[in-house]
Amino acid sequence: GAVVSQHPSRVICKSGTSVKIECRSLDFQATTMFWYRQFPKKSLMLMATSNEGSKATYEQGVEKDKFLINHASLTLSTLTVTSAHPEDSSFYICSVQGGGRADTQYFGPGTRLTVL
Amino acid sequence: AQSVTQLGSHVSVSEGALVLLRCNYSSSVPPYLFWYVQYPNQGLQLLLKYTTGATLVKGINGFEAEFKKSETSFHLTKPSAHMSDAAEYFCALYNFNKFYFGSGTKLNVKP
């Protein structure tokens, strides 16, 4: 399967600032990447589907102006949390779609965001 | 509506004992079902999946799961736990081009 990395693994920021999280597919060209959010003791929730070279598709209830997604290359997608608030504190996980099948995804290790 | 419920956020077993992690689902169409494992500081790794066909699915590391439509369940089992099985396990359902995850079960293996 594909190797997926995320950077940073942990980030702490002040309220009102913006934070960028990178998701890289290290050995696989990823046309499609996904961004998930996980609240404590809750399941992973799909936030958006990121397609290389086009606009991301956001799930219902996810603010696209707050969670900016850029997928400029086949190996990199970024999630920027703009004007962060404490309620944005969460675990963010990206995944890469493998082999043209959306039911085959390879997951990154996640990024823990804490907004003070 | 699609949803996945994992009973028990924490399960503790002794080394060598049976592992049973429970997963129930709700789906409006025949689902694809998955179990993932997550070790600390690593991404989710696929353990096994059910799509169609045989309802007993074997995965990596000696794990298996059985799809029971009548019970809407997809419980994960392993006959004999090993210390290296300690991790968090996620059950997931896939349909309509989306994954729906359970909230996870942390497995602790006691020596």
Instruction: Give residue-wise pLDDT tens across range B2-49.
Output: 899 999 999 999 999 999 999 999 998 888 999 999 998 888 999 999
d(CA B98, CA B91) in angstroms, rounded, equals 14
For chain A, which residues lie within 8 Å of any Cβ of chain B, measuring from their own Cβ? Answer: 1, 4, 9, 36, 41-46, 93, 95, 102-103, 105-110
Residue A30 has pLDDT above 90, yes or no: no
Chain A touched by B44 (CB under 8 Å): yes
Contacts by A37-40, CB closer than 8 A, 24 or more apart: A37/A90, A37/A91, A37/A92, A37/A93, A38/A90, A38/A91, A38/A92, A38/A93, A38/A110, A39/A90, A39/A91
Contact A41 B36 (CB under 8 A): no
User: Under DSSP, is residue B84 helix (H, G, I), strand (E, B) or coil?
Assistant: helix
Residue B101 has its nearest CB partner, among A43, A108, A109, at A43
Number of H helices, E strands in chain A: 0, 11
Instruction: Give residue-wise pLDDT tens across range A44-72.
Output: 899 999 988 888 999 999 999 999 999 98
In a mutational test of the B interface, the residue from A9, A97, A103 whose CB has the highest number of chain B CBs within 10 Å is: A103
Instruction: Give residue-wise pLDDT tens across range B44-101.
Output: 999 999 998 899 999 999 999 999 999 999 999 999 999 999 999 999 999 888 899 9
